[in-house]
Structure 1
Amino acid sequence: MRRLFALVAAVAVAAVLTPAAAHAEPADDGNRAWSLRPGTPEGKPDKRTHYTLQGIPGAAVEEKVLVTNSSKVPASFVIYGTDAFNTSTGAFDLLPAAQKPTDIGSWMQFQAPAITIDAGATVAVPFKVVVPANATPGDHAGGVVVSLATGTDVKVDTRVAVRLYLRIAGLLRPVLAAQKVEAHYFGVTNPFSDGSVTVSYTAENTGNIRLQSHAKLVVKSALTGITLAEKKLPDLPELLPGQRVPHEAEIDGVFPAGPLTVRVELEPFGDPEQPVGQAVPKAEGHTTIWAWPWLLLIVLLILGTGAGFLVRRWLIRRRQARADAAALERRRARKESKAGAAA
């Protein structure tokens, strides 16, 4: 009987303790994970991966950003806007946190620039982009950034952002330029084979619309205009207004035909989600280089020198033969003259 009572008591204690253990707070592992995405006016997720907005000077555009705390514990975050730029490889990037934005990043106003979110929860944060009255027409690129609030003791501190594009109505100028074109020819040991041309150039967005571009490399004879080689290059990544990015390319199968014209051809195009609404002009840049088949020229020079030597020797022998024949003819004439005088 005592054993049965003890067993029942143990089960009762377990029943009391089990719910408490099930609701125990998870241990803080020191890691923080969070994400953000555009939201609907109702604060729900939508299909957008970034913001593509339209605006006019002096007006405001209202939006919402959804911030999710995937950490095991509540966490505090700061939300702010900043400007975008292209890196030296053409990638889209945002200004460092310590650098103050001067364009669209300074136009963003958040209803809650600092928030605390429970573990696993998502919060919709309203914000608006207040366009200045003197804002220039065209595309302005930036990002909505969420990072951990300072003073949090964590192992990883990484900011997360979502792109934001705003096109301001007005005169749109989609212009891309290929500048600073330089080229070098590299031959091969076979004097009758083709070589290659390496090209470097800078793509610059001199307009006010963000553009991508198809690209092609063409090499022609500067004397005849005949195309010696052409190559379709990978599409250039999106280039923001006022940004420039260096590029390099190489093309094989180029015959060393003396002076060569090397041309970079760009065919820009806009974002399908935000059409330009007008024809985008093509762009090109070119340079001229010399590509001589030096080994072939050396061989021809040697052959020419040898042929010249043989021709010269033949001419000398011919002149000598003529001189000998003339001398013989003179001696014969003198003999005949003496014989006639003796008779």
Structure 2
Amino acid sequence: MYPSVSRWKTLLRTTALSVLAAAAAVGVGAVPASAAEGNVAWTVRTASNSYGEARSSYSYNVNPGGAVEDAMVVANRGPAPLTLAVYTADGFTTDAGQLDLLTRDKKSVAIGAWVKAKAESVVVQPGKTAQVPFTISVPENATPGDYVGGILTALTQTDQAEGINVDRRLGIRIKMRVGGELKPNLAIEDLHIAYDGSSNPFAKGDATITYKIHNVGNAALSGQQGVTVSGPFGLLRVRAGDIAAPPELLPGESWNVTVPVHGVAPTISLAATATLTPLLTDASGSTTSLKPVQITAHGWALPWMLLLVLVVLIVVLVGAYLYRRRTRAQRKVREDARVRDAVEQALRGPKPQTS
């Protein structure tokens, strides 16, 4: 059964709002994030204090057992009082490579659980601002490394025309590095190579390399990638073109990569090598290149038309050999029979003559 037209409208609208929320939650720019539709409009920004002014997001270095106090400023740009829910959530990287925050119905286990806002809601009068203080308490047993989450404001409204409740979210990213031994590490997993040739057995074809980048360390990492494809003993090596960098992956996250490589000769056996250089960014924005990771996988690049010609040639040669062998055998049988008849005739001697 297919959804009704009104159901499709609901899905489309919910999707559009989710995209808006995701963009707002990242809080990348220095300009305060805002949400507006009809008579509803508000913005959020970081408070100015000892941590800095006009920050685009929150960033902290805290040891296990430590705590941080900060605040978010909410401004009501609309004509009516605004009551907003306040909550915190863990962050994650979407399939599109963007940072998003869990919705309120999802359980947070890191920053979303460590951050406590002073109140679960805030009321902001028209044209006014209100501060939302919050405290981050890092557990004593927190694992060292990078964590990302956010503090959000949310407004639930009823769309009477569609008969649904719509959630609008607006928040600011929180990035935290918990003190201790930092072990940044990326791994390349599930490397495969597939080859697509042409009907011309001597023409070059295309190879498709797929693999997964897995952040197996405890630091948020991006990376630079390189892929090469070669024949036996490293001959006829071809390098892939520019490969888009993966998004910054949080500890434990993975990213699937597909790389086309053109102009690959069908050398029967192919070797695909993927090289990944992890990039670590510190609090000041400085990026450090770590030791590259490299892995190789093998695959087949069979020139099917040439193989078909070879198979046909082999069949013809084998058939000719068998035919010649059979002909020789038949000739030998006939010769043996002739000799045998001659011997028998000689042994019987000449026929007696009758008078």
TM-score where L is the length of structure 2: 0.71
Residue pair 2:278, 2:289 contacting (<8 A) in 1 also: no
Secondary structure of the residue aligned to 1:126 is strand
Equivalent-residue separation in structure 2 for 1:83 and 1:141 (angstroms) = 6
Distance change >3 Å, CA 173–CA 274, structure 1 → 2? farther
Residue pair 1:228, 1:255 contacting (<8 A) in 2 also: no
Equivalent-residue separation in structure 1 for 2:108 and 2:197 (angstroms) = 49
Equivalent-residue separation in structure 2 for 1:251 and 1:35 (angstroms) = 46
Residue of structure 1 in register with 2:208 after alignment: 198
Does the alignment pair 1:36 with 2:44?
yes
1:61 to 61, 65, 68: 68
Residue of structure 2 in register with 1:115 after alignment: 122
Q: 1:292: Cα distance to partner?
A: 1.6
Equivalent-residue separation in structure 2 for 1:121 and 1:95 (angstroms) = 28
Equivalent-residue separation in structure 1 for 2:308 and 2:265 (angstroms) = 17
Residue pair 1:140, 1:165 contacting (<8 A) in 2 also: yes
Equivalent-residue separation in structure 2 for 1:277 and 1:173 (angstroms) = 16
Which ranges of structure 2 fall in alignment gaps of 5 or more residues?
1-36, 161-165, 326-355
Farther-moved stretch of structure 1 (135-144 vs 56-65): 56-65
Letter in 2 for 1:195: G
Secondary structure of the residue aligned to 2:305 is helix
Residue pair 2:205, 2:264 contacting (<8 A) in 1 also: yes
Residue of structure 2 in register with 1:319 after alignment: none
Residue of structure 2 in register with 1:210 after alignment: 220
Equivalent-residue separation in structure 2 for 1:90 and 1:167 (angstroms) = 21
Residue of structure 1 in register with 2:291 after alignment: 281
Letter in 1 for 2:95: S
Does the alignment pair 1:230 with 2:239?
yes
Q: 1:299: Cα distance to partner?
A: 4.0
Residue of structure 2 in register with 1:296 after alignment: 306
Equivalent-residue separation in structure 1 for 2:138 and 2:258 (angstroms) = 38
Which ranges of structure 1 fall in alignment gaps of 5 or more residues?
1-28, 317-343
Does the alignment pair 1:245 with 2:245?
no
Question: Aligned ranges for residues 1-343 of structure 1 at < 5 Å?
Answer: 31-41=39-49, 46=54, 48-148=55-155, 153=158, 156-221=166-231, 223-231=232-240, 232-271=242-281, 273-274=283-284, 280-299=290-309
CA RMSD, Structure 1 to Structure 2 (Å):
3.1
Letter in 1 for 2:196: F
Q: 1:143: Cα distance to partner?
A: 1.0
Farther-moved stretch of structure 1 (293-302 vs 177-186): 293-302
TM-score where L is the length of structure 1: 0.73
Secondary structure of the residue aligned to 1:237 is coil
Residue pair 1:193, 1:255 contacting (<8 A) in 2 also: yes
Equivalent-residue separation in structure 1 for 2:245 and 2:224 (angstroms) = 5
Residue pair 1:89, 1:246 contacting (<8 A) in 2 also: no
Equivalent-residue separation in structure 2 for 1:278 and 1:57 (angstroms) = 25
Letter in 2 for 1:119: P
Q: 1:258: Cα distance to partner?
A: 1.4
Secondary structure of the residue aligned to 1:65 is strand
Paired positions, count:
283
Residue pair 2:280, 2:289 contacting (<8 A) in 1 also: no
Secondary structure of the residue aligned to 2:237 is strand
